[in-house]
Structure 1
Amino acid sequence: MQERIGIYDVLPGKIRFLVEKERLQEDLLQEIRLRTGQPLILIYRDREVFPMQDGKPYRVQEEDLKETLEYVSNYSLYAYEQEMRQGFITMEGGHRVGMTGQAIMEKGQIKNLKYISSLNIRVSHEKPGCADQVLPYLIRDQSVCHTLLVSPPRCGKTTLLRDLIRQISDGTRLLAGRTVGVVDERSEIGGCYRGVAQNRLGRRTDILDGCPKAEGMMMLIRSMGPEVIAVDEIGKAEDVHAIEYAIHCGCRILATVHGASMEELRQKPLFHQLIRRGCFERYVLLGNQPKAGQVLGIYDERGSLLYREECTC
């Protein structure tokens, strides 16, 4: 396995120095936000931290963004044009660098971005064992339940999904190992580098990296015969249709979606019918208080509460 690139390695020297002065635990760092002319902001344990220089919050310079992009792209932004048109670049290790700037349009579609003015480095965390309390509620009759992980941003749903994949693939005392197919559209789940996953996803896992979710699910069914299919952040009609097709083909589904509550999810037209028909057998609702990844509730297809993590604050 390749050695991971540390998240600080892509920061300009002076910013790296200021961030390291904060003496933060890197495994609790969530985001690094750089906006031209604005204070540098770190999201750490769900709180904002403003690194200081000469007693004042450090203000990000235009050259800071340019230097960061050079490191992130290995000095070849052109090679990442396909990703940049979607507004982000995924680094080795699964860290995602979101960006804004001036859109370059071609035939009514975004071709690329230029004059980048903001960067948001979202730090990917691998936490083996974080699914230990959840997985038993997702198994029924020696089979994985069709499961949807629901949470707002920065609440750990991708981290939880990653560990569920690993445990289901390797097997546990409750479940024999299953063949898992992962459609990793944004390279956040496996953090693939030159086709090799940097994150541990299990010995029976096949990863389709950088492929649109709907198309990828169909490809996996045709080519790899997965028992379980895992995808992150579904939200398009074609994603939902592909999930329905996969279920009809006998695959078990693990998926995530943005949402603050089950009621909010029910109000989304794409998911209303899925919920009404009971396509998903388990819903895992996550929050970030008192910690990211707090399990607010695990529900069955009828909406009955099966488990809630006790608050220890």
Structure 2
Amino acid sequence: MDEYYSAIQRLPAPVRDALAQLPPAFAAQVHEIRLRSERPIVFSTPHGPILAPNLLPKCAGALQLSARGLQECFYSLCEKSVHSYESQLSQGFFTIPGGHRVGVAGVCRTTENGRNSFQTITSLNLRVARMLFVPLPPLLQSSLADSFHGMILAGSPGSGKTTLLRSIIKAASDQGKKIAVVDERQELWPCDPWGNVPHIPLNCDVLSNCPKAGGIEMAVRCLGPQIVACDELGSHEEFRQVEHGIQSGVGFICSVHAASMDELEARLERSRSKLRAFFSLCAFLEGAQKPGCIREVVAL
């Protein structure tokens, strides 16, 4: 059964039961479920946004959310334990079992400890996580050899960076490399409360729900990896820990939100020549229309 059906399980019964009527062939194409106050639910698909009531007219009433109905969806997704997700919510999202990430929009406020929180929720973006793998081109396969230096996977949102990163991690593990994965958003290999991580490669250790900067430091110090992998590298502190790790002889595979070399340099606040000291190549992805597919591989 497609992961779409597991992603909707925490929603209130009327909404969940209505969304569950979606035929499997179409459910497999849904990568986001957009829930907004006083508006109908919208599916994000490779063919663009599609109104849920248009596909499920018999359930149209349950698929048009009131402001109160959206709040109920939020509390239901949190299992009425908002404080358990306080750290993630301060960054504008939270992750539910299965690695499904919920993006949040609304009226923000700053708490006494300086964190952001939400006073009112106006939108939720439930992103369907799928444990997918893609074949790697020969250049990426060969780059994982003994002389591995480092690799960046760059692309726009929805381009399949996480899928490609997961595939490279598996390939490196299959080659016998020891890999530590810092999975801050629990999307690469979602871990349940009992520590079960399905489909994890043999030579891979996962730091789940761990902030990247601290997780990279922990992995390098304590897990003895040859490679550290992390998704969505961005902050100055995260890159500083990457620098320290490379100085310790560890290679890195990191994804970055960037569709071009100019965007990559701006995102990481480093020129191409400076990035060369830490990474040997960068793979740019095609985009949301061809998730996980590589447009070009650039030597740094």
Q: Same fold per TM (> 0.5)?
A: yes
Note the 1:184-203 alignment, pairs <5 A.
184-194=183-193, 196=195, 198-203=197-202
Q: Say if 1:5 and 1:93, in contact at 8 Å, map to a contact too.
A: no
Separation of aligned partners in 1, 2:35 and 2:280: 41
Q: Say if 1:157 and 1:286, in contact at 8 Å, map to a contact too.
A: yes
Which residue in 1 is equivalent to 2:70?
65
- Give the aligned CA root-mean-square deviation in angstroms: 2.7
Which residue in 1 is equivalent to 2:37?
36
Q: Structure 1 stretches (4+) deviating beyond 6 angstroms?
A: 54-57
1:296 counterpart = 2:291: no
Tell me the CA shift for residue 184 of structure 1.
Answer: 1.3
Q: Say if 1:240 and 1:270, in contact at 8 Å, map to a contact too.
A: no
Separation of aligned partners in 2, 1:277 and 1:291: 28
Q: Say if 1:183 and 1:213, in contact at 8 Å, map to a contact too.
A: yes
What letter is aligned with 1:201?
Answer: I
Aligned residues: 292
Which residue in 1 is equivalent to 2:212?
213
Which residue in 2 is equivalent to 1:310?
none
Question: Alpha-carbon deviations, 1:99-121, whole Å to 9, x = none?
Answer: 12222323472352232111011
Which residue in 1 is equivalent to 2:286?
287
Separation of aligned partners in 2, 1:300 and 1:111: 39
Q: Say if 2:46 and 2:289, in contact at 8 Å, map to a contact too.
A: no
Measured at CA, do residues 283 and 68 of structure 1 come closer, stay the same or move farther in structure 2, by a change above 3 Å? same
Measured at CA, do residues 178 and 27 of structure 1 come closer, stay the same or move farther in structure 2, by a change above 3 Å? farther
Separation of aligned partners in 2, 1:155 and 1:17: 30
Q: Say if 2:4 and 2:27, in contact at 8 Å, map to a contact too.
A: no
Which residue in 2 is equivalent to 1:89?
94
Tell me the CA shift for residue 132 of structure 1.
Answer: 3.2
Which residue in 2 is equivalent to 1:272?
271
Instruction: For structure 1, list consecutive stretches of 5 or more residues without a partner in the other structure.
Output: 302-313
Q: Pick from 147, 154, 165 the counterpart of residue 151 of structure 2.
A: 147
Tell me the CA shift for residue 85 of structure 1.
Answer: 1.8
Note the 1:115-264 alignment, pairs <5 A.
115-128=120-133, 130-133=134-137, 135-140=140-145, 142-169=146-173, 171=174, 176-194=175-193, 196=195, 198-264=197-263
**Identical positions, percent:** 29
* TM-score computed with the length of structure 2 as normaliser: 0.87
Helix, strand or coil at the partner of 1:220 = helix
Q: Say if 1:165 and 1:201, in contact at 8 Å, map to a contact too.
A: no
What letter is aligned with 2:286?
Answer: G
Measured at CA, do residues 28 and 4 of structure 1 come closer, stay the same or move farther in structure 2, by a change above 3 Å? closer
